[in-house]
Amino acid sequence: MPGENGAWNCSQRRREAAQVIANGGVATVCIAVYALTGDFHWWMAFAGAYAAANADTCSSEIGALSPVLPRHVLTLRPLQTGDSGGVTALGLLAGGAGSAVVAAVAWAVHPLGFGQVVMVTVGGLLGSLLDSVLGGTVQARYRCAACGETVERSEHCGVPAVHTGGWRWIDNDVVNLFCTLIGATVAFIG
């Protein structure tokens, strides 16, 4: 949200169209195809995409509350809270629960078998884990020239940030797109 003067400060930014597409685009395409074809696999994919997005959000937001420092998803080395690629036990549990909630809602709206509920849940959790893997390996990382914070965008605090790692073209939006795509794919196959 903007501050008193209407400006966005260092720790705030608008939800851009790319973020909306990355987090909801896969699900939107899946539900549109389901509406046009009636093919139940697309309903499953829709649920899997949202399960992944919810698992990722729950993992990040609740995992940040963990009293234990996160560990890199692949190397297990300690990271600072908020660093891309970091996971905690609390975050993983929250991600699983967030994915299961979406699967339960999908079941309530359009009855699924037990195996299908499991596949939506697993798809969501796997999507969230892929988000951590990509975030900790290939996602672009920058250091803000103004505040020194490690950030995921090439600009921060209104100034260009210095590229410190990852591939410049893989930002958090690309990672989130892959997260939801994996959730949808696993649920579609299930």
What is the mean pLDDT of the segment spanning 100-113?
96
The token duo for 115 is 């195996």
Q: Is pLDDT of 6 > 90?
A: no
What does the pLDDT read at residue 15? 58
14 pLDDT band (50/70/90 cuts)? Answer: low
How far is the C-alpha of 171 from the C-alpha of 178, rounded, in Å? 11
pLDDT digits (tens, 9 = 90+) for 138-180: 999 999 999 988 888 899 999 999 999 999 999 999 999 999 9
Structural domain includes residue 182: yes
pLDDT digits (tens, 9 = 90+) for 35-54: 999 999 999 999 999 999 99
Q: Is pLDDT of 10 > 60?
A: no
What does the pLDDT read at residue 185? 98
The token duo for 139 is 């996602």
Structural domain includes residue 12: no
116 pLDDT band (50/70/90 cuts)? Answer: very high
Nearest to residue 52, comparing CAs of 125, 131, 136?
A: 125
What is the mean pLDDT of the segment spanning 8-18?
59
Structural domain includes residue 8: no
* Cβ contact 162:142 at 8 Å: yes
pTM, entire model: 0.88
Structural domain includes residue 156: no
Distance, CA of 161 to chain centre: 23
Structural domain includes residue 42: yes
pLDDT digits (tens, 9 = 90+) for 18-35: 889 999 999 999 999 999
Structural domain includes residue 10: no
Structural domain includes residue 36: yes
How far is the C-alpha of 52 from the C-alpha of 184, rounded, in Å? 8
Structural domain includes residue 160: no
11 pLDDT band (50/70/90 cuts)? Answer: very low
Q: Domain range holding 52? A: 17-139+168-189
The overall average pLDDT reported for the chain is: 92
What does the pLDDT read at residue 18? 86
The token duo for 133 is 């893997």
* Cβ contact 165:142 at 8 Å: no
Number of separate domains in the chain: 1
How far is the C-alpha of 48 from the C-alpha of 120, rounded, in Å? 5
